[in-house]
């Protein structure tokens, strides 16, 4: 039986991030993907021109429909911009006993456009974060969640990850992709810190990298991997997807990663 994962996130009309990136990642990693759409965005590789939230009660209706029927092995949570929606998601996941929850606290698009209402930050931290098995903030998101400065080195990343664990998170992977040098992520909350390093790839096609990584972690958890193994496999998948992204030629801005790099006969799918 194929494992099932659900993404609860916003839709990306350009197809590179959000729900679309999550479902592509699930499919590439041999997981059946279902979705709960929490917001609609008008965006492309150049930026976000509009965000429309789905009413919180309808988000809850989607959760009830999916989790009451499907045997969901893992859940990835992405963009949730409204406090009422965040509370609806938290209540729905608790009601259905959701497991293997990966929370990617999406706050800003790769283009720099804000995706989260300021009043939603505390709700994510206090009500949703404690439900997650792992939280995957980047440097800017970790700073917002902890109320600190953006980390500039590994020690600061570890400190902010630990602060989020102290605030109720089970485990936190702080993503250091914006630092110089290799792409280094740190996992806190599982005993001794774990470090995940990958070579930095020179590409402007980074749209949806955070969504892809978190959904890949969820996919591997759905397959039964332990968290540390799931993160390592997900990071390897993302690194290869970025490396192959230049074959796609999608859009005129920050293009998407190549989710199906290992499946298509060549980068253009022909």
Alpha-helix runs per DSSP H in the chain:
18-28, 56-67, 83-95, 121-123, 139-146, 154-166, 209-222, 227-243
Among 112-116, 139-143, 184-188, the minimum mean pLDDT is found in 112-116
Mean local confidence (pLDDT), 104-131: 82
**Integer Cα distance of 244 and 55 in angstroms:** 37
Lowest-pLDDT range of 32-41, 140-149, 216-225? 140-149
**DSSP for residue 114:** B
pLDDT in tens, 16-67: 999 999 999 999 999 999 999 999 999 999 988 998 999 999 999 999 999 9
How confident is the model at residue 240, as a pLDDT?
94
Domains present along the chain, CATH in parentheses: 4-142+203-247 (3.40.1190.20)
Most confident of 114-128, 218-232, 255-269: 218-232
**Average pLDDT rounded to a whole number, residues 86-107:** 96
- And the tokens for 39? 């917001």
CA–CA gap between residue 231 and residue 240 (Å, rounded)? 14
Res 146 pLDDT > 90: yes
- Determine the pLDDT at residue 216: 98
pLDDT digit string, tens, across residues 171-210: 999 998 767 777 799 999 999 999 999 888 888 898 999 9
Classify the C-alpha dihedral 60-63-69-73 as positive or negative.
negative
Active site members: 175, 206, 208-211
What was the pLDDT predicted at 234?
Answer: 97
Predicted pLDDT at 200: 82
Which residues are CB-neighbours of 107 under 8 A, at least 6 positions away? 114, 115, 116, 121, 140, 141, 144
- Given this model, what pLDDT does residue 111 score? 56
The mean pLDDT value of the chain amounts to 92
Angle between helices 227-243 and 209-222 (to 10 degrees): 140
pLDDT at position 267 over 60: no
- Residue 270 pLDDT grade (very low, low, confident, very high; cuts 50, 70, 90): very low
Question: Residues 6 or more apart from 24 whose CB is under 8 A from it?
Answer: 212, 259, 260
For residue 269 the two structure tokens come to 């799918």
Q: Which residue is associated with the tokens 């993503």? A: 175
């Amino acid at each position: 039986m194929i494992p099932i994962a659900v993404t609860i996130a916003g839709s990306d009309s350009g197809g590179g991030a959000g729900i679309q990136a999550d479902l592509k990642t699930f499919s590439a990693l041999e997981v059946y993907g279902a979705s709960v759409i929490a917001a609609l965005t008008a965006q492309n590789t150049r930026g976000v021109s509009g965000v429309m939230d789905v009413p919180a009660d309808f988000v809850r209706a989607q959760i009830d429909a999916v989790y009451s029927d499907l045997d969901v092995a893992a859940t990835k949570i992405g963009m949730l911009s409204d406090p009422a929606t965040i509370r609806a998601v938290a209540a729905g996941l608790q009601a259905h006993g959701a497991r293997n929850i990966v929370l990617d606290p999406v706050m800003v698009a790769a283009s720099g456009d804000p995706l989260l209402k300021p009043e939603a930050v505390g709700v994510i931290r206090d009500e949703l974060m404690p439900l997650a098995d792992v939280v995957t903030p980047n440097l800017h998101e970790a700073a917002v969640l902890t109320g600190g400065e953006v980390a500039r080195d590994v020690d600061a990343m570890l400190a902010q990850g630990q602060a989020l664990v102290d605030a109720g998170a089970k485990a936190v992977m702080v993503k250091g992709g914006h630092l110089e040098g290799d792409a280094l992520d740190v996992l806190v909350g599982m005993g001794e810190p774990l470090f995940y390093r990958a070579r930095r790839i020179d590409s402007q096609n980074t749209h949806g990298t955070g969504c892809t990584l978190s959904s890949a972690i969820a996919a591997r958890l759905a397959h039964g991997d332990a968290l540390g193994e799931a993160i390592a496999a997900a990071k390897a998948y993302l690194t290869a997807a970025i490396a192959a992204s230049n074959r796609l030629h999608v859009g005129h801005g920050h293009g998407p990663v190549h989710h199906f790099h290992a499946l298509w006969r060549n980068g253009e799918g022909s």
